Structure 1
């Protein structure tokens, strides 16, 4: 009978420490906002020493960007799994927009907005966030390209997706500042009708 390993390897401990720091960073961004999120607070929440934190992330900007990547990777897996179960035809279009809204209106949106606003006056953070933002857009496009199959031409799919992403980002920001939920729901339904009309024209 093989012996049961009870001790974690150094790599496993390192990965656990890194994940704890990233999860704590996301929690701080959502609860406290970027300005009040300090490295000290992140370390305290993660139960990690400053020395251990600096071993993984040398600057605050590096930590913040890695946290957004960490959250994005997690949400990408969730969206990918959900996109695989989207129904065919017209229902795929409306359910896909609902899926985008669910993904962008939660923790990802809150954390990302905090960082995007801070990046306006923080050159290091801005430079680090740009490739993450581009990767997020490309990965989302790929997910929906795979889900849509050959229903829509590539250029049409990309245009509709980018418009949808920017709409849900704006609606997520509206929710953060206390906008009306009924108005957001109405705008989403209007956009679904617009996309369905375009989908029928192009795919039909």
Structure 2
């Protein structure tokens, strides 16, 4: 391959990746701004600044596009979350901080976009099949980093604390979407951090 051809190939690949990224970012933007029902392929293309044919080139179905968009967002947030978790101290001192990081990661833009898809997926088997692996992958990856923070805590207890935290934070994120009381959410999160530290201390091996 000549140098000119190689540069042309790289440029084409870069353009394809830029188009794909623009579509994924626009999909997330639509989910957050107008919801799944109104997030038509045409609206996504308009926001991304690409033709409708570009979507068909990258994604076979709308469900595939939606799942890829959430995966795109979760990969970015997962990297940020993993870096933050890796910087935490081990043991009980890191438990409360880890819960705060999980709350940050599972709320906000990610929570809004995923909630839209979960609700739609209840009656859409194709969408449900597309997003389920993405959600599970995020959970497995995050759990791996959380168990490192947990140190010597038994694996089953570390996983229990993790999934309790994830489900609590998701519920609190939904409460925020519905306009719930922010003071109450903070109280609930602080109380869970207190309980989690106690559960951790109770299960962790005693120092000799």
- C-alpha deviation, 1:6, in angstroms: 8.7
Match of 2:113 among 86, 111, 114: 111
Partner of 2:184: 183
Contact 2:36 2:116 in 1 (8 A): yes
Once the two structures are overlaid, the 10-residue window that deviates more, 78-87 or 163-172, is 78-87
Match of 1:129 among 128, 131, 142: 131
Partner of 1:139: 141
- C-alpha deviation, 1:20, in angstroms: 0.5
- Give the TM-score normalised by the residue count of structure 2: 0.92
Superposition RMSD in Å: 1.6
Structure 1: gaps (5+ residues):
none
Once the two structures are overlaid, the 10-residue window that deviates more, 130-139 or 32-41, is 130-139
Match of 2:33 among 24, 31, 34: 31
Q: How many residues align?
A: 200
Structure 2: gaps (5+ residues):
none
- C-alpha deviation, 1:148, in angstroms: 2.5
Partner of 1:166: 167
Partner of 1:87: 89
Distance 1:52 1:124 in 2: 21
- C-alpha deviation, 1:34, in angstroms: 0.5
Distance 1:149 1:21 in 2: 40
Q: Which runs of 4+ in 1 moved over 4 A?
A: 5-8
